[in-house]
Structures are given as structure tokens and as C-alpha cells.
């Protein structure tokens, strides 16, 4: 009996210490602006992700050398949903050079349950093939904003741009993918480049 109680207490303590460590990482994140470097926590902390009706968790750990576009959106935002087909097309066109991350943050009015329902066969998100982060706090803390859609463009771990939907065009995505490729080539030629180990 004592052994069982000890095991339960140990399990609870380990769960709580993991939660406190994650909260500590969240507390260390300050707002980022153009020219700012992303902290390691934004690459390593896992977020709750929904893709194809399936829940999982994911991080940006393997995407450092890609152009990363973070798209803040909500299910009630028609302008947000209108850009999804373009983002999916670009992700398919540049699978090795681009990472599109759709982020639905806390405060949008969407909940995990409502997003799962809307991603069902008859829902407004049924055709969305890109993964999206649900109930986000992490990216919202790093990139506070008042309006959506809100796009953050990242190259080499640095914020290259923060834009509205007007800048999100096929031509601009291609231009930024090329810019990222040149960045990776330049840094590789200098032989100083090592992807950070977060």
C-alpha cells in the first residue's frame, strides 16, 4: 500500500515539474519584432496540432533551415480562410524549403472541441490539409497582435517580416523562399553554420 502511494506521489510530482518547466519556458518568451531572433523555446516546445482530423503534437525543431510562415487565424475570419489554399499550394510546391504553420491562439473564441468539429467532413475546415496549432499561447506571446490574419516570416531563426494578408501572394512567397535558399547557401559556404541544438 505504501509503495502504491509513493508511486502515485512520484508520478504527480514528475507531471507537475514538467508543467512548471514548460511554464518557465513560456515566461521567458518576450515579444519579438522584425530583426529579432527566435528563442530556442519556440523551436523546441511542442504544441497541440490538428491535421486531417487527427490530434498530435509538433514543434519547429527540424525547420530551422526553412522559410517559416506563421499564420495567425480564427475559424470565423473569412480573410484568413481565403488564404489557406494559397498556403497549401506553396507548401506542396516547396516541401523542403517552406514550413507553413497555421496558429489558432487562445482568445479567438475557437476551442479545441469547436475546431475538431469544424474540421469534420461537413465543417468549414474540412478541406484544410495543413496542420494547425490549437489553443496556442506560445506563439501568441512571442508575436502579440490585434488583427488577423497576421503573418510572421522567419529565415534562419530571425524574424524577416510581420505582415497582413496583402503581402501574402504567390510571388512574395517564391521571393522569400529564394531569399532563404541564398541565406542557407551563404552561411553554409562560410562553414560556420551549425543548426542550433535546442
Task: State residue 9's pLDDT score.
Answer: 37
| Residue stretches of the chain with pLDDT short of 50 | 1-24
Q: What is the mean pLDDT of the chain?
A: 84
d(C-alpha 175, C-alpha 177), whole Å: 6
Task: State residue 52's pLDDT score.
Answer: 81
CA distances (Å), origin 174, targets 52, 59, 84, 169: 26, 24, 16, 9
The secondary structure element, H or E, covering residue 102 is strand 98-105
Name the 3-class secondary structure at 136: strand
Task: State residue 187's pLDDT score.
Answer: 79
C-alpha cell at 133: 496549432
Q: Are 117 and 111 in contact (CB under 8 A)?
A: no
d(C-alpha 191, C-alpha 6), whole Å: 52
Task: State residue 26's pLDDT score.
Answer: 62
Amino acid at each position: 500500500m505504501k509503495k502504491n502511494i509513493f508511486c502515485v506521489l512520484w508520478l504527480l510530482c514528475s507531471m507537475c515539474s514538467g508543467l512548471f518547466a514548460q511554464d518557465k519556458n513560456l515566461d521567458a518568451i518576450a515579444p519579438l519584432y522584425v530583426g529579432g531572433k527566435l528563442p530556442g523555446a519556440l523551436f523546441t516546445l511542442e504544441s497541440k496540432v490538428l491535421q486531417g482530423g487527427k490530434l498530435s503534437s509538433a514543434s519547429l525543431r527540424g525547420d530551422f533551415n526553412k522559410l517559416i510562415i506563421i499564420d495567425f487565424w480564427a475559424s470565423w475570419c473569412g480573410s484568413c480562410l481565403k488564404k489557406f489554399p494559397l498556403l497549401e499550394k506553396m507548401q506542396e510546391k516547396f516541401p523542403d524549403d517552406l514550413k507553413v504553420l497555421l496558429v489558432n491562439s487562445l482568445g479567438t473564441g475557437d476551442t479545441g472541441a469547436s475546431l475538431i468539429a469544424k474540421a469534420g467532413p461537413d465543417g468549414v475546415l474540412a478541406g484544410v490539409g495543413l496542420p494547425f496549432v490549437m489553443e496556442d499561447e506560445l506563439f501568441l506571446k512571442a508575436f502579440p497582435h490585434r488583427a488577423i490574419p497576421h503573418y510572421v516570416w522567419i529565415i534562419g531563426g530571425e524574424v524577416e517580416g510581420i505582415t497582413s494578408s496583402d503581402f501574402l501572394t504567390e510571388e512574395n512567397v517564391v521571393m522569400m523562399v529564394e531569399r532563404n535558399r541564398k541565406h542557407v547557401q551563404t552561411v553554409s559556404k562560410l562553414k560556420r553554420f551549425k543548426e542550433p541544438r535546442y
